[in-house]
Chains A and B, each alone.
Chain A
Amino acid sequence: MNLINAILQGIFLGAFYAVLACGLSIMFGVMRIINLAHGDLAVLGAYLMLVVVEHTGVSPLIAFVAALPLMIAFGYVLHVIVLERSIKSSILTPLLATFGLSIVIQNVLQLTFSPDVRSLGGSAGSLTTASWQVVSGLSISALGVVILAVALVVFGALQLFLSRTRAGWMMRATAEDADAAELIGINSKRVYAGATAIAVAIAALGGLFLGIRSVFDPVSGPTQLIFAFEAVVIGGMGSLWGTLLGGLTLGVAQTLGAQIQPQFAVLGGHLVFLAVLILRFGTGRVVLRTA
């Protein structure tokens, strides 16, 4: 029973990692950018929601809806004024630019909100505590189910967007060959900015879940980035469903590791990540796949 419970909790945890990883995967798949500020963008989103919650007393879910347009706009502008220039110069520049962005976000958050640990869980009401007992010793938390359901909806919606809409085809075309895309009239800069906007919006969703299920402070970002990055790599870089699978695998590996010994939780995830890295080394295909 303990094992089943661990796997089940691992899937819920993994769904959270998958949401965190989703935006990272999009940006890598479309622009070949590894966004080192991705975790910080999630934390930035969480703080934004915290401000809304503290000023209006609404639930964090409504605060997320309020923060979403801001995060989308932030992502778009971020691409236009920072990332677009950096991808033009060399492959290392975006890495440096997003690393710098990460530091800037952390310090702005420190200055504005102090280094205190915060959470959105307290204002989320019964969502954080509700659970269903399936059998004795095995219960399912409402929050876990919500996160898993949202993760499936997000990945499903992205799949539909990329495979069914003209904008999605344009995004895939630009990811495959930006130069050729320009030659048929696609504004690659705008497509990239759109991809960044989507990625930052989903990062904010990750920030919401982070804030509800646990706590965050201004320097929580890099830890979230590591988990998101591991999920992306385990799932095969640039592959959408692979990222979901990678997140779930990471979550299960961590809870199984914790079964052996509580300190082994994070280690379990790292070991799976390293194993995948070694197995894939040299054979990694990096294109934005939809299936």
Chain B
Amino acid sequence: MSLLSVDGLDCRYGLLQAVRDVSFEINNGETLALIGANGAGKTTLLRAIAGAHRPHGGRITYNGRDIGGLAAHRRVGLGLALVPEGRRLFPGLTVEENLRIAARGLGRRWTVQTVLDLFPILQPRRHAVAASLSGGEQQAVAIGRALMGNPSLLLLDEVSLGLAPVVVDAVYRSLKDIIAEGATVLLVEQDLTRALKVATRVLCMLEGRIVLEGEARSLDRDRVVSAYFGLRRPA
């Protein structure tokens, strides 16, 4: 059985339809990359799964349970965690406070200590307020904060946005460690090369629809690029 299944999801902002009839599934241990141009509906889709956006129609099933009506904080309790676009740390709280308020499931894999081990750059910044962190450090805290909930499905929204390439490399190295441990990940990524490298499966969105879906290694780059820009719409 799949861990998450999205069926006929519709999301709207007033009259604007951001996600149109989207259906897909994620199995345990998979890494699914969601790609697409700006405004394709990727962030909205992720927010709808996490419970931060109320969908207009469709079903979201998680571990066999319909979670469409649950508040975002209840979904965290079930094992969903979203690293939101723009990181959204609590600027007045320290790194450690940011992490500790997200702690869930005591005695499990992720604690403040194991998160700091995963992101050694945070070790000396442990008691610094989040507002004083660099972009890369903030991203590390944002991912660490999501991990503190010991999620079984990690949703990552544009973790490389606004970061220097070296920092993005570091973030992705940590991400690979997380994935190697068997985590199930759904990530939104603008950088095609990176997405194809890290993911097992790729979904490409265009204007709110999924226009291409396939195994990462079997997809050829040209096909993805044309789907990405809508040059050649698959029937």
**Across the two chains, which residue of chain A brings its CB closest to B131?**
A176
A residues less than 8 Å from B50 (CB atoms): 183
Q: In the complex, A177 Cα to B93 Cα: how many Å?
A: 11
- Most chain A beta-carbon contacts within 10 A, residue among B50, B73, B145: B73
**Which of B25-33, B84-92, B118-126, B220-228 touches A?**
B84-92
B102 CB-CB contact with A under 8 Å: yes
Q: Are B73 and A169 in contact (CB under 8 A)?
A: no
Closest-CB distance, B54 to chain A (whole angstroms): 12
Q: From residue B33, how far is it (CB to closest CB) to chain A in Å?
A: 21
- Please name the residue on chain A nearest to B91 by beta carbon: A176
Residues of B within 8 A of A290 (CB): 92
One digit per residue, 1 when the CB lies within 8 angstroms of any chain A CB and 0 when it does not, for chain B 30-57 equals 0000000000000000000011100000
Q: Contact: B93 with A182, CB < 8 Å?
A: no
Q: A176-B91, A176-B92, A187-B73 are in contact. Are A182 and B51 (CB under 8 A)?
A: yes
Closest-CB distance, B13 to chain A (whole angstroms):
15
B92:A287 contact, CB within 8 angstroms: yes
- Residue contact B101 to A186, C-beta cutoff 8 Å: yes
Q: Which residues of A contact B76 (CB under 8 A)?
A: 183-185
List A contacts of B109 (CB < 8 A): none
Q: Could you tell me the distance in whole angstroms from the C-beta of A282 to the nearest C-beta in chain B? A: 22
Is B112 part of the binding interface, using a Cβ–Cβ cutoff of 8 Å? no
Quick check: A177 and B100 within 8 Å, CB to CB?
A: no
Q: Are B72 and A183 in contact (CB under 8 A)?
A: yes
Q: Does B210 contact A (CB under 8 A)?
A: no
CB closest chain-A residue, reference B51: A182
Q: How far is it, in angstroms, between the C-alpha of A183 and the C-alpha of B104 when the chains are bound?
A: 13
Residue pair B146, A172 in contact (C-beta under 8 Å): no
Residues of B within 8 A of A149 (CB): none
Considering the complex, which residues of chain B in the window 69-84 have a beta carbon less than 8 Å from any beta carbon of chain A? 71-73, 76-77, 81-82, 84
A180 at the interface (CB under 8 A from B): yes
Indicate with 1 or 0, residue by residue over B120-140, a CB within 8 angstroms of chain A CB atoms: 000000000000000000000
Of A166, A177, A187, which contacts B90 at CB under 8 A?
A: A177
> How many angstroms from the CA of A176 to the CA of B91 in the assembled complex?
8
Query: CB of B97 within 8 A of chain A?
Result: yes
Tell me if B68 is interfacial: C-beta within 8 Å of chain A: no
B93 and A172 contact, CB distance less than 8 A: yes
> Which residues of chain A in 164-186 are interfacial with respect to chain B, using CB atoms and an 8 Å cutoff?
166, 169-170, 172-173, 176-177, 179-186
Q: How far is the CA of A173 from the CA of B101 in the complex (A)?
A: 8
- Are the C-beta atoms of A184 and B92 separated by less than 8 Å? no
What are the 5 A-B residue pairs with the smallest beta carbon separation, nearest first?
A185-B76, A180-B88, A184-B102, A182-B72, A173-B90
B residues neighboring A (CB under 8 Å) = 50-52, 71-73, 76-77, 81-82, 84, 88-93, 97-98, 100-102, 104, 145-146, 148-149
Using A184-B102, A288-B92 as known contacts, list a sample of 5 further A-B pairs with CB atoms less than 8 Å apart, ordered by residue number in A.
A172-B93, A173-B93, A179-B88, A180-B89, A183-B84
| 12 residue pairs A–B, Cβ–Cβ below 8 Å | A169-B100, A172-B90, A173-B101, A179-B52, A180-B89, A183-B50, A183-B72, A183-B76, A184-B145, A187-B71, A187-B73, A188-B73
